[in-house]
Structure 1
Amino acid sequence: MSAALLPKPQMRGLLAKRLRKHITVAFLFALGCAASYKFGVAEPRKKAYADFYKNYDAMKDFEAMRKTGVFQSVGPK
């Protein structure tokens, strides 16, 4: 009696149905991770580099390192 009341489980197409759902969720998750990395890490890093090199003087930095004796081939003045 109770066996007749239980619905039959779906067996045909179950894998394809579940894969469609899981692939969609995985794609959206990966897209969210990529966007959060781009705007949370890459863009601030590019801005920091741009800000640093905006006022960077390579010759001034070279002279400071030369005076402290960092280089072996260039003696201090």
Structure 2
Amino acid sequence: MSLAKPVMRGPLGKRLRFHLPIAFALSLMAAAAFKFGVTEPRKRAYADFYKNYDATKEFNNMREAGIFESVRPTGK
């Protein structure tokens, strides 16, 4: 009774030929999901916020609230 000889040549290459395309496809799907699920909505939200944002008005509101120590509120 003899044991079968173990395969010593090529098992890594055989596994890589199977697993490498799968890993590549999964990484592309993850990148696309992140781009369209996170990045694009975030860019749209920033664009919508800054469409109507008035920096001067915001500064005056913060100045009137007393947030800035170096700027005194104007007397109204």
TM-score by length of 2: 0.83
1:10 Cα deviation after fit = 8.5
The code of the aligned residue for 2:12 comes to L
SS at match of 2:73: coil
Aligned length: 71
2:33 aligned residue (28, 32, 36): 36
Work out whether 1:49 is the aligned partner of 2:75.
no
Superposed structure 1 runs of 4+ greater than 6 Å apart: none
**Structure 2 residue runs without a partner (length 5+):** none
1:9 Cα deviation after fit = 8.2
Aligned residue number for residue 72 of structure 1: 69
The code of the aligned residue for 1:35 comes to A
SS at match of 1:29: helix
* Whole-Å separation in 1 of the counterparts to 2:24 and 2:72: 58
SS at match of 1:56: coil
Aligned residue number for residue 24 of structure 1: 21
| Identical pairs, percent | 58
* Whole-Å separation in 2 of the counterparts to 1:20 and 1:70: 62
Q: What CA RMSD, in Å, does the superposition of the two structures yield over aligned residues?
A: 1.8
TM-score by length of 1: 0.82
1:13 Cα deviation after fit = 2.5
Question: Is the helix fraction higher in 1 or 2?
Answer: 1
**Structure 1 residue runs without a partner (length 5+):** none
